[in-house]
Structure 1
Amino acid sequence: MDSITSTSLRRFAVLAAAVALAVTGCSSAGSGGDVAKNVVPTQDAEDNNPQPLEKIKDGGEFRPPLQQWITQWNPYQVDGRYGDAVEIMTYTQAQLFRTDAKGVFKPVPEYLVSAEVTSKSPQVVTYKLNPKAKWSDGKQLSAEDFKAVWKASNGKDPAYNIADSSGYEQISDVEQGADAQEVKVTFDKPYADWQNLFSPLLPASGISTPEAFNDGWVEKVPVWSGPFKIGNLDKTAQTITLVPNPEWWGPKPKLDKITYRVLASSAITQAFLNNEVDYASAGTATAYGQLKDAKDGVIRTGTPWDEVHISFGGNGPLADRTVRQALTKALDRAALIKIVNQGVPVEFKPLGNHLYMTNQSGYQDNSGDWAKSDPAKAKELLEQAGWKEPAAGQPRTKDGVALDLHYVLSDGSTQAQTDMATAVQSMLQQVGVKLTLDKVPSKEYFAKYVNQGKFDLASWRNTGSFPLSSGVANYRAPQGDNVFGNYSKLATPEIDTLLRTAAGTLDRAEADKLYNQADAKIWELAHTLELYQRPSIVAVRKGLANFGASSLASTDITKVGWEK
C-alpha cells in the first residue's frame, strides 16, 4: 500500500519523523485482484540500474513527481521535514555522509577529508573539511556552520522551532581545530550515531538567529553548496527546477536539469503512462497493474527503512493505556495487511519492531501478544477500563458517555487505505467501539490533525529512520509544545531513559539490547500498532541509471542520468 508518509531523516541532521505525503492511486482490495507473491525485493544492494559514468550521457532532464508544494526548506525546522524537501536539500547543500546499501556511513569527499572519533572520554569527533568546499556566497565551510547548527538545534533556545534536539543536546562544545579546515565537536554524553548529525550542513549565515532559522528558508533556498541549486520555484505551475551549481568543485552532474512537478496522488500513475514523469510508485494493486507493462518503463524493487502503522492518539478515552491495549487486541493485523497487499507481487511482511526493519542487524520481534488478535481479550480489557456494553450493537459507555472514536484519514487516501480503515471500523465495532472515519483535506492532514495530535486513530508511514537514534524522536517524551515526532504524545520515563541510553551506547550489541528493551515497552504502551515493512516497488523510465528502488543507501545525484 502506498500511504501517507512521515520520513525520518536517517542520515540527515534532523532525526524526527519528517512529514511527507506520498500517496498514489490504489484500487479496492478486491478490484485489483491478487497476483503471485513471486518477487523478492533487493535488500543488500540497490535495484537502481547501476552504470559507470562512461556509459551515461552528459545532459538530459529527470522528471520526478512531488506530492505537495514545499514551503519550508530548512530541514532542522519543525515544518521542514517533508521527505522530498529533505532529499532535495541534500542535492543542494553539504551532505557530509552517504550510506551504502547496508546503511554504513561513508564521508562524502567533496566535503570531508576525514571524520572520526579522536577521543572517547569525553567523546570528541574531529572533522577535516575539504578546503574547496564553499557556500554560494563564497565563504568556506567552517566550524561556524557546525556551531550554528548545534546552537539552533540543541533545544536550549525555544525561539528556534526545531524538529528534534537528539544528538545536539549531548554536545558541550563546537570549536575550530588546528586550522580553518578542522572542526572539533565535544560531547558531554556519548552519542553513537554522530555521523547522522550536521547533514545536510547549513550555513551559519542562514540559521544563526531564530528569525533566519524559522522564516529565512520559507519559499526559498537563500544559500547553497551542493552539486545542484534551485533554478526556479514556480508556485503557479507547481514545478521546482534544479540545475547544476556552476561553482561546484566536485564531479560534474550528469543531468542538466531536474524538474519536480506537484501532482495529486491519483494523477501520478497516469502521468508516468503519459511520459510526463520518469518515476512513480507501483506499490498498489492499481498502480502495479497499470505500470508493470508500461511502455518505456521498468519495475524496480527494494527493501528500504519504511514502515506502515496505525497510531493511537493520547486524548480522551485513549489517554487510558488499557483502552489502547484493547484496540490492539481487537484488530486483526494479518487481515489488514492482506487488504493492502492485494495486486502486487511482493509480500508485505508483518513488522514486530518499531525501531528496526526486518533486514537490519539487531532486529527482533518484540510484539509478543500485543499484535495477536483476540477480541475476547479486547472486551475484557475494555470492561476492566470501565467501558460497559449496554446492548448488542451499541457502543460501550462509561459515566453516560459513549466510546466514540475517530479515525482521521486524508481525502487523498487510496482505496486500499480506505478499505483498511473500514475494516478497522468493523473490527472495533465487534468489541463495542464506535469508530467514525473522518476524511480531511490532504493538505491539512498533517498540519492540522496529525501534527496537532488531533486523532484517535491514524495511519501513515515512517521512512528512513536509521541509524537507530533517528527513531528516538517518534517515541520520546514531548518537551513543552515540542512533540518532536511523537504526535500522540504518549511516552513514559522508562522508555525515554532506555532510548536515550541506547543512543549514547557506543557498543553496538549493547545498544541493540537497550533499543529492543525500549521497543518491548513501546508495544506494551500501545503507542502504535506496527503493520508491515513496506517494500519499495517503483516504475522507472527505461534507461535511467543509478536511480530506482532504494534499500538503505543514499542517492549520489551526480551519478544519476540517462544511458547512452
Structure 2
Amino acid sequence: MSKDGVGLRAVTRSVAFLTAGALAVTALSGCSSEEKRSKPLAAQDIAPAARDQVADGGTLHWAVDAVPETLNTYQSDADATSTTVAQAVLPSMYRLDANGRPQVHPDYLESAKVVETEPKQVVLYKLNQQAVWSDGREIGAADFAAQWRALSGKDSAYWTARNAGYDRIEKIQRGANDLEVRVTFARPYADWRSLFSPLYPKDVMGTPDAFNDSARKKLKVTAGPFTLKKVDRKGDEVILTRSARWWGHPAKLDEIVLRAVPREKRAAALAAGEIELAEIDPEALGRIGLAARAGAKPGGSPLAGPGGLPAHGSGSNLSAADALRSWAVAHGDDEEAADEELSARQKERRALAAYKREQAALKGFEVRRSLEPAYTQLALNGASGPLADERVRRAVARAIDRKVLAGVVLSPLGLPAVPVGSHLALSGQDAYADNSGALGGQDTEEAQALLADAGWVAGGRVEKEKKETKKETKKEKKKGEKAAGAEGRKSGRDSEKEDDGTYVVGEDDKGDHKGVDGPQHLAQDGKRYANKLRQGGAPGAYAPKGTAAPAAGATKVLAKKGKALALRFVLPSGPGSGTLRTVAGRISSMLEKVGIRTEISKVSDESYFKDHIASGQYDLALYSWPASAFPATDARPIFAKPVPAADGSLNVEQNYTRVGTDQVDRLFDQAVATLDEGKSRSLIRKADSRIWAAAGSIPLYQRPQLTAVKKDVVNAGAFGFQTPVYEDMGFLEKGVKASARPSGD
C-alpha cells in the first residue's frame, strides 16, 4: 500500500484488507441528475448482523501476513497490518463506504466543509465533543497542526513516505472554540478529505525523534474502539483490547489478536482453532469447499474420491498396482525393505488421519468472497524497444481480449467477470467511467494493421541473435530458479542447446494452467515497491513463475530492419502465482496470433521490481495498483510524464511504464486544484481517456477477495471497499440466525 494513509489513500483492503461497516450518512461527492452512478461489481460479504445479535465478549484471532515493522502508517515500511491497527485504535476524519467514497466518521467529526475559497481555501472541521485521547486530552487543533508540520515536507528530519496534500497547507488554527479546527491552504486542494486519516496525537507528530521512533513499536495514546495492548514479536502477534475510554458504541469483542500466519499454513491453522478469520489461497478455498460438500452429504467422507480413493492428500494417486506392490513388500522376505514399507505406510496413514481431522474441523468455516478495491494490469514499457512506438503498444492492447482474461480469473469463483474500464477508479466510485473506448476493444485485424503501419512485416529477414545478448537472461534465469527451488524444465524442451531462462511463447502454449491465486496483496505492490525502492530495497512480489512454452508457432514472425518482433515478458518466480501464470500464458497466446512473440523470463522475487520494473528492464509485466478514493492526488505519480533529473537520469516517480504526456499532467493538476467536485471528476475522466489512448498500461480485472471465516463470526469477512467497523465485529449470539449473504450481482 502507499504509506500515506489508512484505507483512504490506497484503498486497499488491508489494505485490504480492511474495509467494512456501512455508515448512515450522506455521500459527499454527488453526481448530476443526468449522470448515472456506477455500482460496485460485487457486494461485500461479511455476514452482517445487528449489534443486539452479536454476543458481548470473546477474542477474534485474525490471520495477517506479518507483525508490522512500524505502527506509523506515514512511514515507508508500514504495511497492511499497520493499517489494520491504525483503523482500530486511531481517529480518522473519514472512512470509506460500500462504493469506496469517503464519508464523515461521526464518532470523530460532526462536519467538515469548505467555508472560504477567496482569497484562499479554508476548511472548517467541527469535532465530536466527546472525542478524546485515551489519556483524557481532547482531540483538537494542536494534533492537526503537529501532523501538518510533520508531513508538510519542509523538515527533512521527519522520515515520511510522502507529503501529498499536507504540502499545500499554509496554516492551521483553533476555530471559534476548542472543537473547531480551521485549515487554510496556500493552494486549492480538491482532495482535502484525504487528510488527517488517520490522525496521530501531537506526542507522536510533535518532533522528528518522536515521529521516527516512538510509534514504531508502540502507541502510548490512542482514540478508538480498541487500544493497543501488546506487540509480541516473539509470538508473532499484535493484541488489541477493548477501550474503556471509547465514547462510541462499545466494542463487542474483548480482544482482537492479529496473528502472523503464512498463507500456506492458514488452512491448518483454521482447522486447529488457532484463527477464526483469514484471507486464503485457492488451495484452502478448495479444501473448505470439499469439507462443506462432504458434510452436507449423509455419510460423506471429506477424503472420498472416485473409486473410494482419497480425493486429496497423501495416497490420492495410489494405483492398484502400487497398492499390490506395497502389500507384497511389506509382507515379503526382505525384512529391511518390509520395515521401510511398513514405516512408510504408517506415516501415510497418520498423514491421512490428520488430513481427515482437519477436513472435519473445516466444516465449521465458510469462504466469504468479494472483489478487492484493486486491479491487475498489463504494463508496457514505452521507454525503448518496439514498445516505444505508440502504434505497437496500441497493437498489443487491441490483440488482448480483456473479457476473456477477466473470465479466466473471476468466473471460477462466481464473481462478475467484468474488465476494468478505468486506470483511476473502480466501478462504484465517483470517478469511475469506462474510458477503454479511447483505445478500442479486441480487434485482430486492427492490431495487425497498426503493426504494419509501424513497419513490422511478416516474413522479413531476421538477423541471427548474438550469444552475448543472452548473458543477462541466463544470469536472471539462475536467480529465478534458485528462488523457485530449482524446479527445472517441463518435458519436451530437452532438445534446446542452451537453457538461458528466456522462452519464446508460440501458438501451442494456450495458457490453460489451473488454479486461482488467493489475495496476497498484489494490490499493494506498485505503491509498496515505490516506497521500498526509496530505501534501496524491494521485498518479494506476488506474481507468476516463469513458464516454459514451445517456441514454434504457426503465425509468421514479424520483422523490421532485421529484428524479429519479440517482447520480453518478465515475471517473478515466487510461489502462489497460479492465476497470473494463466493470465500471462493467455496474453502470450493472444499476442502470438497477431505475430508478436513473447520471451517469458522468470526472475527472482527480490529483483523483480528493483532490478526490472523500476529500472525499466522489461517489455511486458503484470502487477497491480490499488484504486484510490482520491485519484487526482494518488494517481498522478503513477501516470506522470517522466522528466530528466539533475544527474541526467530519468525521474519516473511511480510511472514504471515510462509512458506519459504533458496533457495528462495538466489534467491532473487542474483536477487537484478544482474545488467544484463535478468539474474535478470530469477532468479525472478525461485524464483516464488520454492514459488509455497512450496504451502504457492495460487494466485487466479487479482482484478477487477470498476470506475464510468461522461461521458464527459476523460483521467481518470480505469487506470490499468499506472500512471495517471494528466495534461491531463479534460472534453471533447463540440461537440467532445470521443474515442472508449477498448475491454479489
Superposition TM-score, scaled by structure 2 size: 0.63
Q: CA deviation at 1:522?
A: 0.9
Give the stretch that moved more between structures: 295-304 or 337-346.
295-304
Q: Identify the match of residue 111 of structure 1 among 108, 112, 116.
A: 108
User: Residues of 2 paired with 1:516 and 1:367: CA distance?
Assistant: 11
Residues 1:541 and 1:74: Cα distance change in structure 2 (over 3 Å): same
Residue aligning to 1:372:
441
Residue aligning to 1:509:
678
Residues 1:311 and 1:69: Cα distance change in structure 2 (over 3 Å): farther
What is the one-letter code of the residue matched to 1:353?
Answer: S
SS in structure 1 opposite 2:397? helix
Q: Identify the match of residue 306 of structure 1 among 374, 377, 381.
A: 374
Q: CA deviation at 1:114?
A: 3.0
Residue aligning to 2:667:
498
User: Residues of 2 paired with 1:208 and 1:482: CA distance?
Assistant: 32
Q: Identify the match of residue 694 of structure 2 among 503, 525, 532.
A: 525
- Per-residue CA deviations over 1:73-101 (Å, capped at 9, x if unaligned) read 32223332x33432321112112223333
Judge conservation of contact 2:63–2:260 (CA < 8 Å) in 1.
Answer: yes
For structure 2, list consecutive stretches of 5 or more residues without a partner in the other structure.
18-38, 293-361, 463-554, 734-745
Residue aligning to 1:333:
402
Residue aligning to 1:58:
56
Give aligned pairs, total.
538
Which structure 2 residues correspond to residues 176-187 of structure 1 after superposition, within 5 A? Answer: 176-187=174-185
Residues 1:488 and 1:168: Cα distance change in structure 2 (over 3 Å): farther
What is the one-letter code of the residue matched to 1:279?
Answer: L
SS in structure 2 opposite 1:147? helix
Q: Identify the match of residue 604 of structure 2 among 440, 448, 451.
A: 440
What is the one-letter code of the residue matched to 1:185?
Answer: V
Structure whose residues are more often helix by fraction: 2
Which structure 2 residues correspond to residues 242-257 of structure 1 after superposition, within 5 A? Answer: 242-257=240-255
User: If you compute each CA radius of gyration, which structure gives the higher value, 1 or 2?
Assistant: 2
Give the stretch that moved more between structures: 51-60 or 302-311.
302-311
Judge conservation of contact 1:15–1:166 (CA < 8 Å) in 2.
Answer: no
Residues 1:261 and 1:198: Cα distance change in structure 2 (over 3 Å): same
Residue aligning to 1:32:
none
Residues 1:224 and 1:101: Cα distance change in structure 2 (over 3 Å): same
Residues 1:76 and 1:321: Cα distance change in structure 2 (over 3 Å): farther
Residues 1:10 and 1:527: Cα distance change in structure 2 (over 3 Å): farther
- Per-residue CA deviations over 1:509-538 (Å, capped at 9, x if unaligned) read 323321111101111222321112345443
Which structure 2 residues correspond to residues 40-119 of structure 1 after superposition, within 5 A? Answer: 46-80=44-78, 82-119=79-116
Residues 1:256 and 1:488: Cα distance change in structure 2 (over 3 Å): farther
Structure whose residues are more often strand by fraction: 1
User: Residues of 1 paired with 2:435 and 2:370: CA distance?
Assistant: 24
User: Residues of 2 paired with 1:160 and 1:313: CA distance?
Assistant: 34
Judge conservation of contact 1:12–1:197 (CA < 8 Å) in 2.
Answer: no
Judge conservation of contact 2:13–2:373 (CA < 8 Å) in 1.
Answer: no
Q: Identify the match of residue 197 of structure 2 among 196, 199, 218.
A: 199
Which structure 2 residues correspond to residues 159-558 of structure 1 after superposition, within 5 A? Answer: 160=158, 162-210=160-208, 212-221=210-219, 223-281=221-279, 284=282, 286-292=283-289, 293=292, 294-302=362-370, 305-313=373-381, 315-317=383-385, 318=387, 320-361=389-430, 363-368=432-437, 370=439, 372-375=441-444, 377-378=446-447, 381=450, 390-391=461-462, 403-409=566-572, 411-429=574-592, 431-441=595-605, 456-469=619-632, 471-473=634-636, 474-476=638-640, 485-534=654-703, 536-558=705-727
Judge conservation of contact 1:330–1:373 (CA < 8 Å) in 2.
Answer: yes
User: Residues of 1 paired with 2:7 and 2:727: CA distance?
Assistant: 18
Q: CA deviation at 1:62?
A: 1.4
Superposition TM-score, scaled by structure 1 size: 0.81
Q: CA deviation at 1:349?
A: 0.8
Give the stretch that moved more between structures: 523-532 or 164-173.
164-173
What is the one-letter code of the residue matched to 1:99?
Answer: L
For structure 1, list consecutive stretches of 5 or more residues without a partner in the other structure.
1-5, 23-40
What is the one-letter code of the residue matched to 2:249?
Answer: P
- Per-residue CA deviations over 1:87-146 (Å, capped at 9, x if unaligned) read 321112112223333445443343223322222333221112345434456644232322
Residue aligning to 1:31:
none
Give the stretch that moved more between structures: 271-280 or 55-64.
271-280
Give the stretch that moved more between structures: 518-527 or 239-248.
239-248
Judge conservation of contact 2:378–2:623 (CA < 8 Å) in 1.
Answer: yes
Give RMSD over aligned pairs. Answer: 3.8
Give the stretch that moved more between structures: 539-548 or 201-210.
201-210
Q: CA deviation at 1:499?
A: 2.0
